[in-house]
C-alpha cells in the first residue's frame, strides 16, 4: 500500500510537469523527489544500534545470491511470476507511447496508469482477507489469469468503432479500454503480492527462508529487463514513433490526429502488442500449473523417503 500511494502521487504530478514544462523535465522531477526522500531519511531515520551487526561484503552478497538462484525450484518460481510483472511493467514501457501515438499528445497516460495503484490501495486489504484461506499457489494462479486478461482488454479498443459516450462525455475507445485493463492489473496484483512471498519461502530449504526471501523479488529484474526490451521491438514494429515516418506518412498521421482521415497503415496492427503480452500471461499460468504438479510430486516422494 505504501509503494502504491507513492506511485499514485508521483504519476499525478508527472502529467502537469510533462504538459507545462516538457517531457525532459519529468526525469528531473523524479530525481528531485528521490533527493528529497534522501534528505528526509538522512535527517529523521536513525537505525537501532546493534553491536553484533556488520555490513555484508560484496562477496558475501554474491555468494548468497548464488545459493538462492542456483536452486532450480526457487528459480523456476521466479521466472514464472516474472511473466506477471512483465505485463504489469508495460504501464511504463508500452502503454505511454502507445496512447500518445494513437490518441494524441493531449492524452493522459500518467493518469491512466494511476488506476493501478488506486485499485491496489482500495482493494488489497479486503482481497487479502478474502483469500486468506486459499492456498498461495491458487492465489498466484488467479493473479496470472487476471493479468492475462488485462492486455486482451486493452487490445479490444481496436475493434470498437467511433468514440464511447459515458455520462454525457465522449471518450476515445483506447482511453476506456486502457482504464479497464489497468484496473484489472491492479485487481490481479491484490491476489499475487500478499501470497507470493509466503509461497516463495516454501521453496527454500529449512532454515534458509530469510535468505531466499531476500532474493524473491528478482522476478521483477527479469520481467522488466526482458519486458522493456520486448516492448521496444513491438512498438517499433506495430506502433512506430511518428517523428520517424516518411514525409507522406507523417502528413497523413498529423491529419488523422487533427480528426481528418485514418491513421497510416503502419498503425493498423498496433493492438498486436497486447496480444503478445496476453500470450505471455497465459503461458506463465500454464507453467505455474506444471510447476505446482512437479513440485507436489517431488514433495510426495521426499515424504515417502523420509518416512
Domains and CATH numbers, the chain: 1-41 (no CATH), 60-306 (1.20.1250.20)
CA distance linking residue 64 with residue 250, whole number of Å: 53
- What is the biggest distance separating any 2 CA atoms in the chain, rounded to whole angstroms? 75
Whether residue 50 is predicted with pLDDT greater than 80 in this model: the reply is: no
Under a CB-based contact definition with an 8 Å cutoff, are residues 18 and 110 in contact?
Answer: yes
DSSP letter, residue 262: P
**What is the mean pLDDT of the segment spanning 239-259?**
94
pTM equals 0.86
Using one digit for the tens of pLDDT, what is the confidence trace for 169-200?
Answer: 889 999 999 999 999 999 999 999 888 988 98
* pLDDT number for residue 6: 83
Lowest pLDDT segment from 73-77, 84-88, 128-132: 128-132
Contacts 24+ apart (CB under 8 A), 14-21: 14/110, 15/108, 15/110, 15/111, 18/110
- More confident position, 53 or 237: 237
**What rounded mean pLDDT belongs to the chain?**
90
d(Cα 284, Cα 291) in Å, to the nearest integer?
10
Cα distances from 38 to residues 22, 57, 194, 200, 228, in angstroms, run 25, 23, 28, 31, 27
pLDDT, average across residues 18-45: 90
The pLDDT tens digits for 27-40 are: 999 999 999 999 99
Amino acid at each position: 500500500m505504501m509503494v502504491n500511494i507513492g506511485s499514485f502521487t508521483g504519476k499525478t504530478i508527472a502529467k502537469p510537469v510533462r504538459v507545462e514544462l516538457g517531457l525532459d523535465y519529468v526525469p528531473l522531477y523524479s530525481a528531485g523527489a528521490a533527493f528529497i526522500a534522501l534528505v528526509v531519511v538522512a535527517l529523521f531515520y536513525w537505525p537501532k544500534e546493534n553491536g553484533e551487526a556488520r555490513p555484508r561484503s560484496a562477496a558475501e552478497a554474491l555468494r548468497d545470491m548464488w545459493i538462492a538462484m542456483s536452486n532450480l525450484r526457487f528459480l523456476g518460481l521466479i521466472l514464472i511470476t516474472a511473466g506477471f510483472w512483465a505485463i504489469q511493467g508495460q504501464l511504463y514501457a508500452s502503454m505511454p507511447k502507445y496512447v500518445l501515438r494513437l490518441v494524441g499528445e493531449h492524452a493522459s497516460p500518467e493518469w491512466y496508469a494511476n488506476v493501478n495503484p488506486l485499485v491496489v490501495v482500495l482493494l488489497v486489504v479486503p482481497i487479502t482477507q478474502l483469500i486468506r484461506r486459499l492456498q498461495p499457489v491458487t492465489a498466484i494462479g488467479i493473479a496470472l489469469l487476471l493479468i492475462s486478461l488485462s492486455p486482451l482488454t486493452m487490445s479490444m479498443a481496436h475493434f470498437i468503432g467511433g468514440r464511447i459516450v459515458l455520462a454525457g462525455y465522449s471518450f476515445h475507445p483506447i482511453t476506456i479500454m486502457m482504464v479497464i485493463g489497468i484496473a484489472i492489473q491492479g485487481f490481479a496484483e491484490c491476489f499475487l503480492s500478499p501470497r507470493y512471498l509466503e509461497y516463495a519461502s516454501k521453496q527454500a530449504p529449512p532454515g534458509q527462508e530469510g535468505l531466499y526471501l531476500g532474493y524473491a523479488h528478482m522476478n521483477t529484474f527479469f520481467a522488466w529487463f526482458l519486458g522493456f526490451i520486448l516492448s521496444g521491438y513491438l512498438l517499433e514494429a506495430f506502433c512506430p514513433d511518428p517523428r520517424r515516418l516518411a514525409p507522406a506518412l507523417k502528413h497523413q498521421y498529423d491529419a488523422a490526429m487533427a480528426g481528418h482521415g485514418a491513421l497510416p497503415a503502419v498503425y493498423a496492427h498496433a493492438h498486436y502488442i497486447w496480444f503478445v503480452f496476453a500470450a505471455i500471461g497465459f503461458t506463465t499460468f500454464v507453467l505455474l500449473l506444471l510447476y505446482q504438479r512437479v513440485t507436489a510430486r517431488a514433495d510426495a516422494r521426499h515424504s515417502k523417503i523420509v518416512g
